């Protein structure tokens, strides 16, 4: 089988979906559900064992956002903050009342990639994904940011 091109996936789960609880408590399992949705929508070729790496999960009141990479064999947490390491195509999967999957436009793709770079910076040197960002009770606190000016 030919080597697959890396892909970053933004998975958005609404509190109206049956995967709502699982998306936060068992995020990796929910990523596998997203893979099936991508395959069903012809955005991903079916494969037995895709290489999946959960990078970040973010929780707001009624939404959970998960970002994960597929087949990104060049990923290195030490350089994950650099723009060159965050220039992947992005697909979006939405699990709400309806299930949707589609390629991200350039603006969303850039935003997702920049947000992952920022998560690396905010969590500081030596930090490893998945980065957990919970806004349920207000803004998160970062104890060891790489660049403190990012907190302003």
The alpha carbon of 86 is separated from its chain's Cα centroid by a whole number of angstroms, namely 12
Query: Rounded to an integer, what distance in angstroms lies between the CA atom of residue 19 and that of residue 30?
Result: 7
Alpha-carbon distance of 19 to 106, in angstroms, equals 28
- Please tell me the predicted confidence (pLDDT) of residue 2: 61
Summarised one tens digit per residue, pLDDT across range 19-44 is 999 999 999 999 999 999 999 999 99
Beta strands per DSSP E along the chain: 7-14, 52-59, 63-70, 90-95, 99-103, 131-134
Give the count of alpha carbons within 13 A of 32, CB side only. Answer: 6
At 15, list the tokens: 């509190």
Q: From CA 140, how far away is CA 150, in angstroms rounded?
A: 13
87: which 2 tokens?
A: 């220039």
pLDDT for res 62:
95
Residues 47-52: what's their mean pLDDT?
A: 83
Q: Provide mean pLDDT across the span 66-83.
A: 92
Looking at mean pLDDT, say which of 18-32, 37-51, 134-148 comes out highest: 18-32
């Amino acid at each position: 089988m030919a080597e697959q091109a890396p892909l970053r996936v933004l998975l958005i789960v609404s509190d109206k979906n049956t995967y709502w609880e699982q998306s936060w408590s068992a995020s990796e399992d929910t990523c596998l559900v997203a893979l099936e949705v991508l395959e069903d929508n012809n955005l991903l070729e079916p494969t037995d064992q895709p290489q999946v790496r959960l990078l970040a999960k973010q929780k707001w009141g009624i939404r959970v956002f998960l970002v994960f990479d597929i087949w990104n064999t060049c990923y290195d947490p030490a350089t994950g903050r650099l723009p060159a390491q965050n220039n992947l195509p992005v697909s979006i999967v939405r699990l709400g009342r309806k299930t949707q999957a589609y390629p991200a436009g350039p603006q969303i793709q850039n935003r997702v990639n920049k947000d992952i770079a920022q998560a690396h910076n905010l969590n500081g040197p030596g930090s490893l994904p998945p980065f957990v960002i919970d806004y349920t009770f207000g803004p998160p606190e970062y104890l060891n940011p790489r660049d403190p000016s990012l907190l302003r």
